[in-house]
Structure 1
Amino acid sequence: MTTSSKLDKVEGSTLGAAPADALDAVREWAMKAHAGDEPLRAWLRCAMEAYRAIAVVNEDDLEAAIALANLATSEAITLLLREHHGGWCAGRMRVGEVEMQVELRNVPSTLPPPLRVRLAEDVPMDAFDGRRYGRAGFGVALAALSSLDADSPTVRLRPHSGAFRNLTAWIEPDAHSEEAPPRLVFADPEPFDVATIGFRRLPLARDTSAAYAWAMEESRLERRGLWGLVGGNQIGRRAGLYLLEDFDSQKCPLVMIHGLGSNPLIWSRVANAVWGEHDLRARFQVWQVVYRTDVPLLAARLHVQDYLDEAWSLLDPQGSAKASSRSVLLGHSLGGVVARLLCAHSGETLWNAAFLVPLKDLDARREDLEIVDRIFHFVPYAGISRAIFLATPHRGSPSASTMLGRLTGDVVGRRTSEVHALRRIAQRNPRAIHPELLPVFLEGRINSITTLQSGQPIRRAAETLMPPAGFPYHTIAGVLPRHCVASDGVVPLGSAILPGAASSLVVRSGHRVHERPAAVAEIVRILREHAAESPLES
């Protein structure tokens, strides 16, 4: 909608019947700005006059006053962004001949200035299949990006691409001086969801999709995921657990674990839905895992466990936060298998699938023994209270045995410390390894692909490891039409569906089932169920 049509819409509502002393000045400055008479100065003045009018107009004229304030703010910010190409910081600044005061109101320290800002409506929603979440209200929705705060103790838990937040902006007059420059407010709408103007409390406009969509435009993870699988090491340097928002000691962590050769960007539609639904945004915080998917399955599980340990040691070293007992795991494909094993007790099942003697009887370096002990022996990760598995090959995948799988498997994962430890142990203890696995260990041919093959001994043993009784888990699987065997093209339906699941959903989909609207809706349903069973304490 053009500026003229927006102005006509406001003029055609209640503006003409508004009290002259409240809205005439607003209309005058809007017309000056529209006519091109120093438009930036005029839109700023229009926004200030509309702000003042909001405090005094009657209820019939309030909507028109808010619409004019928002229009003026949007037009002013558009002009400011066109003329000011640097970052935005709190304090006085001059753009051309116009001076103003910039205030960062309730903006968290994890979004340090200078900020890059963009009108939310200008950020395309391609990453979310066109789905934008937000609401109308007072102010103009913005997306903001900034660099990381290097001095923050939790900087290791922040995405390398920088911080992002959805903000709300408006322009208001100085409360103490008529002669003071206009005040441009950038506010975080999360802590305080209303603006107080006079005796009125107005819900803030918000857009919960734009900042993440903009951040995704600038992320390089997508092109690095597969490269990390077949020889690149950039994903390895980025590996870890990342908070996409500020830590909240009350909210349930929703820990998202991607699949083979993939990255956290696959969860864009799910994260968008969680942030877009008010009840879910109030109850869940989005955490995402980046991990090397070229390593053996059990090593991948151990790595994710270590990332969780590091995060909790930084966020809640005393273990007193309510959030620490409420985590929900969300895993796709290989990530789903990792998630299931994080909920399981290994006992001696995995060790006996690989070794013929106890750990203490192996002739090996202490460091190697510690590595294999941690790989093959584990208990359910503390604090996980639910899991959702999507397109997960719990019983293996025939695709891992295809020609492509074998060719890729030959170049994947031979450089990891876990593989080297197994190799050294096999060289010194050949009679202690199951004969079927001995050549695999000796040649270092154990990796994420080989450990997903249906007949692989360790994978067969891992298949039997399930969450404890009473632990709720859910499966979501895809099926493509016209396949002789029900499958999503990668994982057979019989491998993706688990007995004992609290719920199972099969949708018409390929392997990227996490992108299907029906699957996203099912995740939303499950999270609401979890929230109802885990009420927040006051």
Structure 2
Amino acid sequence: MGRERSCAWACVVFALLLAGCAGARVKTPSREALACSLDATRIPEANACTDAWMSTALRGRSHWTQGDSRINGSRVVVEFRGLSPYFASEVVITRADDVPVWIPGGVRHRQPGFGVPLAVISDRCDDAPVCELLPYSGVFRPATAWLEADAGADARLVIGNPLRLPTHRVGATEVALAEDTTAAYAVGMRESPIGRLAIWGLLGGDEVAHRAGVYLMEDYDPAKRPLVMLHGLGSSPLVWARLSNDVWGDRSLRNAFQIWHVVYSTDTPLLVTRRRIARYLDRAFEILDPERDDPAREGIVIVGHSLGGVIARLLSADSGDTLWTASFTAAPSALQGDADDVRMARELLVFAPYPGIRRAIFLAAPHRGSPLADRWYSRIAHRLAGHRADEMQSLRRIARAHPDAIQPALRQGFQTASINSISTLQEAQPVRRANESLLPAPGIAYHTIAGRRAGARPEGDGVVPLASALLPDAASTSIVDAGHDLYSSPEVVAEVLRILRADIASARIARRTHDEPQ
């Protein structure tokens, strides 16, 4: 331990001197051997020393706070500079190099520069409204560590945010901070239980329902546009690992978009889920932008896989009276029943596009249903899946009190509230058949990405037929050699990134055109 402390302390001295800290209170013979002026070619040496010092320090403690500390036998002031305001006062720090890339085939996104990349995580807060928008597994963010001089201590250890403070002055020169955007996300996802809870959400389990909502994967920025990701049946936001990682790894994309993951129970009927997710988005904006004037409200891009893709389409569509007439024989104004039940029926079946959505991307979405929803194993799953949606109880009460107001093909399902997510994907289901005609509203560009697996019958990804996944008049259509889990395909992720970059370019052109004198 004595040799490690001596080595680490030498690294502190080296890093301080490299930064031009002639006033540091360090007394050591090596001081005269090092120049205080910046030599950019020596930054790698300084980083190596800081890394060795941090490695020793992290072995001695797991939880860190700001302020004076005794670290590696020295008095050090710890400063959190530009870190997330969502962090608790105490954080857990891990060297990025100690975090494996957990995405199969995924890319580790890191940039060289000054300092040592870290992953920082803290517990989820519970004392402010924004806390409900933070993942249960905690707040995880990239950070970078470096050493500076401090007049009142032996050194200052800075844990800084490389995304908010991309450069740092070393001597007389501004240098880029080193960054690793993959490590922090890997730590956060490793801690998340949502993957193992997802299947229970399909079967009516309460845990996912309790966690349902919008979750911020990064600090809210009122100027950045939400990239909203919707997972599929029996799934979770973990499916977006590769896409999220690659968006963060691209500076232009992460400067334009902020990633919002949505967690939802996948046992409820399609239109119930559409309504709930709209409410989750409403709640997020209510917390983040109570004045309702942030640019983030405009230009939302929504991407959905499988069931999530169908929901994304419905969030982008104007229903008109299509779904109402497919369900009821009476107009909304003539429907008899409790006022709250009638209001709920209207909210489920009559809707406009969610405000601010500008672009939608559908991955392997069964817009025209899936034949698997009619197979014997799907019928068993249908019996197991939850049937307890409160929204369906409104339709149940209306159907029992006024059966003649319900279309005959739906009467029994409404009266027993036995409609759920699986039944609403059946090809012959009346409301599903009606909603397949609802395309995104004018002004909302949309893209379809579908899989074609060799030997699949009917032609498609083995779950969703190609004919069900493709939509007319799409801004782009891609068919890839992949199964239903194509969200992890490098080709699919690259296509989504291409769409996002094109969206940035089109937004830039639109702004320039708007700003030009008429």
Counterpart residue type for residue 19 of structure 2: Y
Q: CA deviation at 1:183?
A: 1.1
1:458 and 2:431 matched: yes
Q: Which moved more, 1:141-150 or 1:45-54?
A: 45-54
Q: CA deviation at 1:168?
A: 0.5
Q: CA deviation at 1:524?
A: 0.4
> Aligned partners of 1:469 and 1:455: how far apart in 2?
28
Q: Per-residue displacement from partner, 1:120-171 (whole Å, max 9, x unpaired)?
A: 1111112253410011100000000001232333111111211111000011
User: Among residues 438, 444, 449, which one is paired with 2:411 in the alignment?
Assistant: 438
Q: Per-residue displacement from partner, 1:452-504 (whole Å, max 9, x unpaired)?
A: 10110000000011112342100011111122421111100111011100001
> Aligned partners of 1:54 and 1:117: how far apart in 2?
31
CA contact (8 A) 2:167 2:174 kept: yes
CA contact (8 A) 2:366 2:469 kept: yes
1:211-360 counterparts in 2 under 5 A?
A: 211-360=184-333
Query: CA, structure 1 residues 430+308, in 2 after alignment: closer, same or farther (shift >3 Å)?
Result: same
Q: What is the aligned partner in structure 1 of residue 30 from structure 2?
A: none
SS at match of 2:103: helix
Query: CA, structure 1 residues 36+335, in 2 after alignment: closer, same or farther (shift >3 Å)?
Result: closer
User: Among residues 142, 148, 166, which one is paired with 2:118 in the alignment?
Assistant: 142
Q: What is the aligned partner in structure 2 of residue 25 from structure 1?
A: none
1:163 and 2:139 matched: yes
Alpha-carbon RMSD: 1.8
Query: CA, structure 1 residues 423+43, in 2 after alignment: closer, same or farther (shift >3 Å)?
Result: same
User: Among residues 400, 414, 422, which one is paired with 1:427 in the alignment?
Assistant: 400
> Aligned partners of 1:170 and 1:96: how far apart in 2?
15
Query: CA, structure 1 residues 312+287, in 2 after alignment: closer, same or farther (shift >3 Å)?
Result: same
Q: What is the aligned partner in structure 1 of residue 40 from structure 2?
A: 62
1:448 and 2:421 matched: yes
Q: Per-residue displacement from partner, 1:33-92 (whole Å, max 9, x unpaired)?
A: 9x65633333333332333368614xxx522x211110111111111111113x111101
CA contact (8 A) 1:84 1:95 kept: no
Query: CA, structure 1 residues 157+54, in 2 after alignment: closer, same or farther (shift >3 Å)?
Result: farther
Q: What is the aligned partner in structure 2 of residue 20 from structure 1?
A: none
CA contact (8 A) 2:9 2:72 kept: no
User: Among residues 164, 171, 184, which one is paired with 1:198 in the alignment?
Assistant: 171
> Aligned partners of 1:36 and 1:473: how far apart in 2?
58
1:375 and 2:352 matched: no
> Aligned partners of 1:36 and 1:423: how far apart in 2?
71
> Aligned partners of 2:15 and 2:37: how far apart in 1?
15
> Aligned partners of 1:49 and 1:55: how far apart in 2?
5
Q: Per-residue displacement from partner, 1:81-129 (whole Å, max 9, x unpaired)?
A: 11113x1111011136332110111113112321101011111112253
TM-score under structure 2 length normalisation: 0.93
CA contact (8 A) 1:254 1:284 kept: yes
CA contact (8 A) 1:228 1:293 kept: yes
Q: CA deviation at 1:387?
A: 0.3
CA contact (8 A) 1:102 1:184 kept: yes
Q: Per-residue displacement from partner, 1:319-353 (whole Å, max 9, x unpaired)?
A: 22112111000010011111101111111110111
1:51 and 2:19 matched: yes
User: Among residues 45, 50, 68, which one is paired with 1:73 in the alignment?
Assistant: 50
SS at match of 2:409: coil
Gaps of 5+ in 2: 21-33
1:505-520 counterparts in 2 under 5 A?
A: 505-520=478-493
Query: CA, structure 1 residues 308+36, in 2 after alignment: closer, same or farther (shift >3 Å)?
Result: closer
> Aligned partners of 2:456 and 2:344: how far apart in 1?
42
Counterpart residue type for residue 49 of structure 1: L
Query: CA, structure 1 residues 140+422, in 2 after alignment: closer, same or farther (shift >3 Å)?
Result: same
1:41 and 2:39 matched: no
Q: Which moved more, 1:465-474 or 1:290-299?
A: 465-474
> Aligned partners of 1:380 and 1:231: how far apart in 2?
28
> Aligned partners of 1:140 and 1:434: how far apart in 2?
65
1:110 and 2:110 matched: no
User: Among residues 455, 461, 474, which one is paired with 1:488 in the alignment?
Assistant: 461
Q: CA deviation at 1:414?
A: 1.1
CA contact (8 A) 2:448 2:477 kept: yes
How high is the sequence identity, in percent, across the aligned residues? Answer: 43
Q: Per-residue displacement from partner, 1:167-211 (whole Å, max 9, x unpaired)?
A: 00011222x36xx31111100011221110221111100001110
CA contact (8 A) 1:478 1:493 kept: yes
> Aligned partners of 2:227 and 2:261: how far apart in 1?
8
> Aligned partners of 1:314 and 1:493: how far apart in 2?
40
Query: CA, structure 1 residues 55+388, in 2 after alignment: closer, same or farther (shift >3 Å)?
Result: farther
User: Among residues 410, 415, 420, which one is paired with 2:388 in the alignment?
Assistant: 415
Counterpart residue type for residue 118 of structure 1: T
Q: CA deviation at 1:252?
A: 1.3
CA contact (8 A) 1:51 1:69 kept: no
